[in-house]
Structure 1
Amino acid sequence: MTELDFRKPSAPDARDAVRALRPSQIREVANAGFGVENVLPFWFGESDRVTPQFIRDAASAALADGATFYTHNLGIAPLRAALASYVSALHGATSAGHVAVTSAGVNALMLAAQLVVGAGDRVVAVTPLWPNLVEIPKILGAHVDTVALDYGTQGWTLDLDRLLAALTPDTKLLMINSPNNPTGWVMTREQQRSVLEHCRRHGIWIVADEVYERLYYGDDAGSTRAAPSFLDLAARDERVICVNSFSKAWLMTGWRLGWIVAPAALMDDLGKLVEYNTSCAPSFVQQAGVAAVEQGGRFTQQLVADLKASRDHLVQALSAMPGVDVKAPAGAMYLFFSLPGAAKSLDLCKALVREAGLGLAPGSAFGPEGEGFVRWCYACDTARLDAGVERLQRYLGECGAR
């Protein structure tokens, strides 16, 4: 035997690209809340209300009917047809051949990236941003550059010229989320048109995360029913992939159901990726999705009205607190605001959990551009928001007295 035969094997490690992924700081804060009694959690992006009864009933009926088998990789025909009609009503003619059902919106983002991004490709993302969009391309070996939103008297805004300058001919993909998590920023139609024309010239793919499109409070919200979308401008067979989810508009976070609108030419290859990732979304969950799409219009309309009221209530309460800088965003369900101590937002949020029983998400969880801010999900009733404001006010008062 040689000396090499006695060498101790190295420790088992994941590959470098995976080990380099940043962990969720939101989870880190939530973990700090374990064992702390009576914490008010506003850190995750979901409502405190359960999924509507009519959706739950549809799932129960589907289970009772035996909808427990595999389905087509791209989704059951009734759901793809329902989604095509839904998207067509919001954004113009869309066929079922351009729609694929996925196991959640985050799965849709991963599939979209796998379709068009490979090792060494350059990706651009607009930040601050939910970390999944920045980290997913890195799993595939891509390099991600970021363009930061600006914060000022008008809230969060985009420097369009800076974004266009970053979208160089060697860019493979633009990842953009509007309405944005965490800031609530909404890209204007004019900005989308400029970006789309620029990406067309250079052959750059756009993956648009539009899961918050129905949670829109802009001046034209009543007439459009949705935030501006790339689907309003792009032909269905160009380099635009739009990702959506059932989680926000129909309160189906735990159901893990989403969809993709993409060029028909991608669908065969997308089906392969679905097969090798999840095979398909559960059949009875897809049946519940049909009910959400076909029967959920009035529910979503009321949900948006409730969220807007909660947003306005929380903005008013926080604005009255010394040292807090907050602006009412045009979309999503979060306030992303600055306050004393947020220069180290992770430390601040852990302290808020331990000392005030208040759970907020640190701005640094959304990239270095988010440092100095915290995120508060306001998808709950105003009494719960008031309790949270009271705890924050008491904490800041005690800190000021130290």
Structure 2
Amino acid sequence: MSDTAETPALTSPYEALPPRMRGMSVNQIAEIADMAREDPEVIKLWIGEGDLPTPPFVVEAAEAAMRAGQTRYTYSQGLPRLRQALADYHQRHWGVEVAPDRFAITAGGMNAIMQAMQATLSPGDEVIIPGPHWPNLAATVNVCGAVPVTVPLRRGADGGFSLELADIEAAITPRTRMVAICSPSNPTGWVMPKGEMIALRDLVRARDLWLLSDEVYNHFTYGNAIAPSFLELCEPDEKLLVTNTFSKNWAMTGWRAGWIVVPEGLSGTFASLCQYNTTSIPTFIQYACIAALDQGDDFIRTMVARCRESRRIFCEGLGAIPGIRLQPPEGSFYLMFSVDGETDSRALAIRILREAKVGLAPGTAFGDDPDGKLRLCFAISPGLAEQAMERLSAFFRRG
């Protein structure tokens, strides 16, 4: 008998990946965008990004910090000055006192969500997410080895979206660990009313669950006030994690800077998570973020005003086309609409890209989509919105 052990069959690198990695889905928003990112003729409304450049005072703050030598490692949780600026910002806009040590600076809102889930989820846990939802949210749950559970945002006869608390309660199982809310919503523009936020807070309290609140679009509302924050409704030591980013308010998508608000007593945990995720984001970018917070309220108002007018252009234009169903979004800078007779929104988005030279996101990017929904981003100038609407109107009217 041979003393030589039998050599096991080698697997391919792909086969050696954990199942959650092999099953990672393609982001269809990026897939459509990659078809024409470099085409100058395409009006690009697929990704959540405005067309304004980062304001000069933010760029100048980063440049001054670099010239002053702020190019070295710093606190993993973020500069103390930046965390104080965030505390001042929340006090100014929502009237809440949040201790500076409850903020952790992240590499954008995406990394904030990742860290929130890394800190709280174990393999097999379930996370309840209202849908349609931003695809990255459910994908992050999967990456952490947990299971996303979608409950529907119900759609009324007028095309508007609403969330029933009973649907969330019915989805809770012994494995449920978290409820994740994005309000104002990407992709639907739904804004959770304050009374419903209180009811959800009470439900997660009663069931001892984590609540993740993605509040990226709070300033982008089209009524008389900005959207409420769960920080107004919860105690400092509750199981609440609030994620946000500098990307949308201050046109800083490429800077990759965001933040997370953590419960009282977890600062050390999230300082370590920041350390092991990114060490810290670049120090000079953090100085740019301080400038955005301290000097950027007028810029936010400019952004929201432009979005309001472009929202009007698209809602009126699309609403006048037979077979298109929509409800003007209450918040965010997205419009989700349905096209009668269409069941394959990905194929429809590709046709619109090729024939009308307008880039839209397919409804299938955000979950099951039986009724042919498309999402467009209207964080653009009203003039460009008019051009895009002319192209879309011509496309849909010729059939």
Quickly name the TM-score band, shorter chain normalised.
Answer: over 0.9
Pairing 1:182-201 to 2, within 5 Å after superposition = 182-201=187-206
Determine helix, strand or coil for the equivalent of 1:100. Answer: strand
Task: Report if the CA contact (8 A) 1:341-1:348 is conserved.
Answer: no
- Superposed CA RMSD in Å reads 1.7
Whichever residue aligns with residue 13 of structure 2, its letter is P
Counterpart residue number, 1:174:
179
Please list the CA deviations of residues 70-129 of structure 1 after superposition, one character each: whole Å capped at 9, or x if unmatched: 110100010000001111223311110211111111000000001110111121111111
1:165 deviates by 2.5
Whichever residue aligns with residue 66 of structure 2, its letter is L
Greater shift in the superposed pair: 334-343 or 17-26:
334-343
- 1:217 paired to 2:222: yes
C-alpha separation in 1, matches of 2:370 and 2:161? 11
Determine helix, strand or coil for the equivalent of 1:316. Answer: helix
1:288 deviates by 0.3
> Closer, same or farther in 2 for the Cα pair 1:37/1:263, shift >3 Å?
closer
1:8 deviates by 5.3
2:19 to 7, 13, 16: 16
> Closer, same or farther in 2 for the Cα pair 1:204/1:299, shift >3 Å?
same
> Closer, same or farther in 2 for the Cα pair 1:228/1:342, shift >3 Å?
farther
C-alpha separation in 1, matches of 2:62 and 2:371? 41
Counterpart residue number, 2:360:
360
Determine helix, strand or coil for the equivalent of 2:343. Answer: helix
Task: Report if the CA contact (8 A) 1:364-1:371 is conserved.
Answer: no
1:35 deviates by 7.0
4+ residue runs over 3 A deviation:
1-5, 34-37, 167-170
Equivalences, count? 393
- 1:107 paired to 2:111: yes
Determine helix, strand or coil for the equivalent of 1:129. Answer: coil
Whichever residue aligns with residue 190 of structure 1, its letter is G
User: Any gaps of 5 or more consecutive residues in structure 1?
Assistant: none
Task: Report if the CA contact (8 A) 1:36-1:357 is conserved.
Answer: no
1:20 deviates by 1.0
1:68 to 56, 63, 71: 71
Determine helix, strand or coil for the equivalent of 2:247. Answer: coil
1:138 deviates by 1.1
1:21 deviates by 1.7
**Structure number having the greater helix percentage:** 1
1:61 deviates by 0.7
1:199 deviates by 0.6
1:4 deviates by 3.7
Determine helix, strand or coil for the equivalent of 2:330. Answer: coil
C-alpha separation in 1, matches of 2:100 and 2:213? 19
- 1:39 paired to 2:36: no
Determine helix, strand or coil for the equivalent of 1:125. Answer: strand
Task: Report if the CA contact (8 A) 1:33-1:354 is conserved.
Answer: no
1:300 deviates by 0.9
Pairing 1:77-92 to 2, within 5 Å after superposition = 77-91=80-94, 92=96
Determine helix, strand or coil for the equivalent of 1:294. Answer: helix
> Closer, same or farther in 2 for the Cα pair 1:150/1:136, shift >3 Å?
same
Pairing 1:183-332 to 2, within 5 Å after superposition = 183-218=188-223, 220-221=224-225, 226-332=226-332
C-alpha separation in 2, matches of 1:99 and 1:287? 16
Counterpart residue number, 1:385:
385
C-alpha separation in 2, matches of 1:164 and 1:8? 47
C-alpha separation in 1, matches of 2:38 and 2:244? 35
2:30 to 27, 30, 35: 27
Task: Report if the CA contact (8 A) 1:54-1:291 is conserved.
Answer: yes
Determine helix, strand or coil for the equivalent of 1:368. Answer: coil
Whichever residue aligns with residue 59 of structure 2, its letter is R
C-alpha separation in 1, matches of 2:38 and 2:296? 38
Greater shift in the superposed pair: 389-398 or 125-134:
389-398
Task: Report if the CA contact (8 A) 1:127-1:369 is conserved.
Answer: no
Please list the CA deviations of residues 145-176 of structure 1 after superposition, one character each: whole Å capped at 9, or x if unmatched: 11110122161111222123323454211111
Counterpart residue number, 1:58:
61
Determine helix, strand or coil for the equivalent of 1:213. Answer: coil
Counterpart residue number, 2:135:
131
Task: Report if the CA contact (8 A) 2:340-2:371 is conserved.
Answer: no
Whichever residue aligns with residue 108 of structure 2, its letter is A
Identity between Structure 1 and Structure 2 (%): 38
Greater shift in the superposed pair: 151-160 or 178-187:
151-160
Please list the CA deviations of residues 255-307 of structure 1 after superposition, one character each: whole Å capped at 9, or x if unmatched: 11111111132111111111111010110110000000011111112221221
C-alpha separation in 2, matches of 1:338 and 1:332? 18
